[in-house]
Amino acid sequence: MGVSTVAAARWVERWESQQQRYAVDREETFTVIADVVEAVTADRSAPLVADLGCGPGSLAARLAERMPRARVLAVDADPRLLELGRAHYGPAVHYVEALIGAPGWLDALGTARPLDAAVSSTALHYLGERTLRRVYRDLAARLRPGGVLVNGDHIRPDSAGIAGIARHIGRRRTERVLARAHDDWDTWWSGVAADPELAALFAAHDDRRHPRCEGNDLSLSGHLALLREAGFHDAGTVWQFGTGHVLVAVR
């Protein structure tokens, strides 16, 4: 069932392109997230960081490159994406299969050590509000005091009028800088599933599917309220463009 590095590289690169369709400032977001984690863990000899909803590990790999002394755990429920990431990024990242928000999901990390940081990029909006509340509580209990949750995602501004303008600004920026010749979510999945080189991988996990999107429409203040309720003592935005935010919560 092993995936060749050539096939993995091909599909991870196409994954990168299709993800940028939905987050045109993705690389800038990754850089900001890494800046936050690096600053918060500067006094740690071997920080422990978890990337939640990692896909094939794009953000996790960048963190591992930026912080070579860190142990970076890439967490996702889809074993096919995890296997592509293992084959492409190699041993710098430690891959963990877990359904975020399921009972006991943090046990899959395989360590009782507190996290120094938990990060995520365009993944947590898939969770329904009830599940997200539970995830925030779970993370607040697992992060060390002073540890952080850093979430780069699309988050609705509180004002309905500003939210509409923010969406418009985001669309216009995408039109200006992004060529749309590459995959979207559906064409990426149909393409990777049809690749003969990955037939064994998909056959081995034929009964597995990417988790269903519950979705939430929480505004920025809604996220902040849930984070403080969960036990984070401070939270706020450190970067924003349009509806794209990097939200930091401090344990």
Task: Show the 3-state SS of 101-126.
Answer: CCCCHHHHHCCCCCEEEEEEECCHHH
CA dihedral for 223, 224, 225, 231, sign (positive or negative): positive
HSE, side-chain direction, 13 A CA sphere, residue 63? 36
CA pair distance 10, 182, nearest whole angstrom: 13
The pLDDT assigned to 207 comes to: 61
List the domain boundaries for the chain: 5-250
The CATH number that domain 5-250 falls under is: 3.40.50.150
The pLDDT assigned to 116 comes to: 98
SS3 147: strand
Mean pLDDT of the chain: 92
Q: What is the pLDDT of residues 78-103, one digit of tens each?
A: 999 999 999 999 999 999 999 999 99
CA pair distance 73, 92, nearest whole angstrom: 10
Q: Indicate if the pLDDT at residue 65 is higher than 90.
A: yes
The pLDDT assigned to 2 comes to: 78
**Mean pLDDT of the region 16-44:** 94
Q: What is the pLDDT of residues 120-149, one digit of tens each?
A: 999 999 999 999 999 999 999 999 999 999
Q: Indicate if the pLDDT at residue 246 is higher than 90.
A: yes
